[in-house]
Amino acid sequence: MALENLTAENFNEKIGENPIAIIDFWAPWCGPCRSFAPIFEKVAEENPDILFGKVNTEEEQAIAAEFQIRSIPTIMVIKEGIIVFNQAGMLPEEALKDIIKQVRELDMDMVRAEIAKQQQEGNAQ
């Protein structure tokens, strides 16, 4: 799968269609964003089964606001509809590859159980 530009019109559909989505929140004026782009593109080519989406925070301010993006670049990983990684700042190529490896191995049943447990504890307070 190639890089996808994610917009308000296609965001939910693209995320829903893909078990794993890695999103790069960026802006054209951001130097670190421009430096990270070739790394993101290279890793995307090496992982064709994953959606690699780019959200231009200047053009898609509603998406950036919804995900509370405060600095860019921000990398977010969504697996099966759940945000499992969210970090501001540029990542080296090896770090991005390591995150992908960990996300692939992540047991989502365990993640959902932990979320449910935290919600129950929150409701009990």
Q: Is 30 a catalytic residue?
A: yes
**26 contacts 36 by C-beta, under 8 angstroms:** yes
Active-site choice (20, 23, 33, 77): 33
Give the Cβ contact number of residue 119 at 10 Å: 10
Which member of 22, 30, 64, 77 is catalytic?
A: 30
The answer to whether residue 57 is catalytic is no
CA 13 to chain CA centroid, nearest Å: 15
Catalytic residues: 30, 33
